[in-house]
Amino acid sequence: MDPGSLEIQGNSTISHLALDIGGSLIKLVYFSRYEEFSVDDNEEKSSKESLLVSKRYPVLQGRLHFAKFETSKINDCLEFIRRNQLHLGGCQHGGAPGSENCCVKATGGGAYKYADLFKEELGIYLDKEDEMDCLVAGANFLLKAVHEEAFTYTDGRKDFVQIDHDDLYPYLLVNIGSGVSMIKVDGDGKFERVSGTNVGGGTFWGLGRLLTKCKSFDELLELSHQGNNRVIDMLVGDIYGGMEYSKIGLSSTAIASSFGKAISDNKELTDYSPEDISRSLLRMISNNIGQISYLNALRFGLKRIFFGGFFIRGHAYTMDTISVGVHFWSKGEAKALFLRHEGFLGALGAFASYEKHGLDDSIVRQLVQQSPISASHTGYKIHGPLNGEWNDNESIECSVYVS
């Protein structure tokens, strides 16, 4: 067994655990390998995602695993890591937990906030990586290496977009976590955080919880399916006596004022259904993010906006609202694109930042998805109500090229 790897379940070994500890959720990515081989000088792999390799490199074949936990339940995450011994993959040269040689890559604010807790509970040091660096690295990795990662969402239909590696930049990356970061990406490691908003996923979940008494984020999202935003939102037609305001391009059904009806209805909170409240809230926040994103895309002349972060959850109404907003404001000039691994950008970026850790003390040179994945092949599912329920613990079959 190589240092830095752990033998689990027969032939499989785990390595390269990476964490993204955010304000709402902790995301984990780790690699379990089941085969090792090497590729020759200039040998071109025959798979569709072929890669020209200029030296003889070891190739580790295995699966990339994803998992997430609520940050408020960090003890469940620590227990998951401990039970599966995921952290031992970060211990080099036979280093025991607690020694300086036991490090795990981590990003997000929690990499600072919980560093002592990880040290005390698991005996590992969190090797901190910058959050924005990781978001960008994760997005670039997914867009370049994972087949059918990005898609548009229009009228209930998702269309996967082929990414031309030579025509990827510049783009706007909008990561909707607890708060929202907007990053102009110009290349690998070349980016600028151009904007952000504090009205994000944490706002939806926090306000939604207070207004509906929901016990979980999924419950709140589920409620929004059955709700009707017109009960609470004030529409243009409500103000204009059922008419549209065509001169400025507003239909009668456009929202003139989110939650605006509540001022005139003479009703109490309990008179509104949790379903309608959730729907209006989701619409308000998605609309706002879509609009700010478009304005930033306009600022820099960017045509493509990729949306990530766990707020989206592959949720149809959220994606539809963002897509319609971007389309409406840009008059069709800019496009909203979504990512299948939306919530794992930071964790993937931290994973990709491994240099002196993991198997053979090696550098993770490149990670390549093994074959186009289909639901039946890997058990992988598109998130949320798009085509079934969200699976918290996904994995992708892939190869890690190391040097």
Of 181 and 293, nearer to ligand PAU (C-beta) is 181
Angle, CA 145 vertex, CA 141 and CA 148 arms, to 5°: 110
Residue 178 found at the interface with ligand PAU (CB under 6 A): yes
CB of 243 to ligand ATP, least distance (A): 36
Of the candidate residues 62, 202, 237, 358, the single one contacting ligand ATP (CB under 6 A):
202
- Residue 198: name its binding partner from ligand PAU, ligand ATP, none (Cβ under 5 to 8 Å by kind): ligand PAU
With CB under 6 A, what is the number of residues at the site for ligand PAU? Answer: 12
**What gap in Å lies between CA 181 and CA 107, rounded to an integer?**
15
Nearest to 286 by CA among 258, 262, 261, 263: 258
With CB under 6 A, what is the number of residues at the site for ligand ATP? Answer: 20
**What gap in Å lies between CA 371 and CA 246, rounded to an integer?**
50
DSSP string, 363-399: -EEEEEESS---HHHH----SGGGTSPPPSS-EEEEE
Of 138 and 343, nearer to ligand ATP (C-beta) is 343
The contact pattern for ligand PAU, residues 127-146, with x = CB under 6 A and - = no contact, is: ----x---------------
Query: Which amino acid makes up residue 48?
Result: K
Residues numbered 270 to 289 that lie near ligand ATP (CB under 6 A) are: none
CB of 119 to ligand ATP, least distance (A): 21
Angle, CA 76 vertex, CA 72 and CA 82 arms, to 5°: 140
Residue 343 found at the interface with ligand ATP (CB under 6 A): yes
The 3-state DSSP class for residue 57 equals strand
Residues numbered 192 to 221 that lie near ligand PAU (CB under 6 A) are: 196-198
Residue 22 found at the interface with ligand PAU (CB under 6 A): yes
The 3-state DSSP class for residue 333 equals coil
Of 177 and 325, nearer to ligand ATP (C-beta) is 177
Which contacts of 370-374 are long-range, i.e. CB under 8 A and separated by 24 or more positions? 370/47, 370/49, 370/61, 370/397, 370/398, 370/399, 371/47, 371/48, 371/49, 371/147, 371/397, 372/48, 372/147, 372/148, 373/147, 373/148, 373/397
Of 283 and 313, nearer to ligand ATP (C-beta) is 313
Of 23 and 123, nearer to ligand ATP (C-beta) is 23
**What gap in Å lies between CA 179 and CA 131, rounded to an integer?**
13
Residue 205 found at the interface with ligand ATP (CB under 6 A): yes
The contact pattern for ligand ATP, residues 60-79, with x = CB under 6 A and - = no contact, is: ----------x---------
Of 69 and 354, nearer to ligand ATP (C-beta) is 69
| Extended strands (E) in 265-359 | 304-308, 335-339
List residues binding ligand PAU (CB under 6 A): 22-23, 109, 131, 177-181, 196-198
List residues binding ligand ATP (CB under 6 A): 22-25, 70, 108-109, 177-179, 201-202, 204-205, 217, 309-311, 313, 343
